Structure 1
């Protein structure tokens, strides 16, 4: 091989080796860039994960606050309803306590009136009509009369004033009403009825 040929081969080798070195250098640079990109993405993912966790925590706190606010609101509405109902019942009790003696007096007047006396008949009828209208009026606002004649004694609604043996009547039956009682719709007693109760023969 001549000197010229040797030189040409050496140049060719250098050229090839130089291209390979450049390729290797490029590959190294590409790998470095890829590593940097991956690192940056990992950092972004970590940051976003932390932000998501904080957002979820805040959302959970807000949900808890909303649930508590709803519970408080419902509680207040329920309390207001109970208070209003208690006030209504209190007013009705006061009203009933004012009116029931009037009803008692009208009933006594009718009971002791001489119904055979023609002169008194219009007056008795007027008292009866007044009593009927008064009972309708108090019934319309939720006050009911307790007239337990013939019923079994109920200590929650009846107050036994005396006991007596009554032929053919089972024990603990109301055989006479001395004074009628009153209750609110729903069963709350304003005044128990005063009654006479049957008892077993000795």
Structure 2
């Protein structure tokens, strides 16, 4: 048993070594803590910048949405002008039959102008060559010897696409034998 006690360090020596290790650890920890504090500050700054950028992007996006229709609206103003002129001109004519003819002519020209404006903005009418349930809504079935089974017989309301995406289906009557 005497040998076992010889290998043991004296309690006082053990405390000194422990204290030295603690001092080294404290210094290392303080240095690590300072580095972590710097990195935390960098992260907080980066987070604040991201939040500010997010607010700026939202504000810009909101402004873009608010004014997205500006060009379209400006392009429609001549259509409104044409309708107003057609009505004013028709009211000036004393011969009501002539006024009616002129009004119809003005409305036709205005419709053409409107459809041209639509086309310039990617709004196209749906084609009606053959029934397609993706673009047509069958609202009625009729029997017609002049048409093949499933053919479109009549179009009640035109459908339109916006840059290829359907925004309103055509309402049609189809032949059912």
TM-score w.r.t. the length of structure 2 is 0.47
State which structure, 1 or 2, has the greater radius of gyration over its C-alpha atoms.
1
